[in-house]
Copies of this chain bind each other. A is one copy, B any other.
């Protein structure tokens, strides 16, 4: 274990976080997302597993190190519920709470509302996402540029 590093951040994930820069995307998704197949089309090319934790805990661990881009409207985005794009499921509300904590820490604002993307866009291969998949939660969240 390393001093001050969330144990949820494994070696592969630390590598990717340190290698990322402005405009690079990181996808945090659940076990129902086709993470492995999409990961193979990304810059990094491999899925990074985060076993036995939920998305909010994964988001908290990632954001403990990774700054969100402050010069875009929605540095974090969520995948819409199919057929109900305005619904914010409980798991995404938990994700939003983690992002809001970072808004207060880094940006002097109370909230940083996630943008939303339709499932079809989420599932399609984007240019640079580097998926990271926690196993245990029920919705997916994309932190992106």
Contact = CB atoms under 8 A, between A and B. Distances in A.
Interface stretch (A4-12, A28-36, A107-115, A137-145): A4-12
Contacts of A5: 18, 65
A45 interface: no
Interface string A55-90: 000000000111100000000000000000000000
Nearest to A65: B2
A4 B16 CA distance: 16
Contacts of A2: 17-18, 65-67
A14 interface: yes
A121 interface: no
A63 B1 CA distance: 12
